Amino acid sequence: MTRTLLMWKTAKPPHELYELVREASTILFMAEANAPRVQPTAIDHVVVWNEPKVEVDHRTLLWPTDANLVRLLLQPDDSRRLNPTGV
């Protein structure tokens, strides 16, 4: 089970990014970055959209240039074990 929190600082994320995150997640929580909230305690990934940047678990990437790396970072941990560097 993969739980992801998708937040945005500017406008909502582009549809392609939303779909990528949704497909990689079993449970998807969504919120504006400045909205008052209680952060779920068992989160596997945090994705923050701040156009044109996307932050995945504290790694800042460019969207859509780094779309493949975003996809890789959102894979379950066991699927990354063959290449632990993530690149």
pTM listed for this prediction: 0.82
61 domain residue, yes or no: yes
pLDDT of residue 1: 86
9 domain residue, yes or no: yes
Work out the widest C-alpha separation in the chain, in whole angstroms. Answer: 39
73 domain residue, yes or no: yes
- Residue in the structure block whose two tokens are 């460019």: 62
pLDDT of residue 51: 94
pLDDT tens by residue, 21-69: 999 999 999 989 887 765 666 889 999 999 999 999 999 999 999 999 9
The C-alpha atoms of residue 8 and residue 86 are separated, in whole angstroms, by: 24
86 domain residue, yes or no: no
Give the domain extent around 53: 3-77
SS (H, E, C) 35-57: CCCCCCCCCCEEEEEECCEEEEC
84 domain residue, yes or no: no
Domain count, the chain: 1
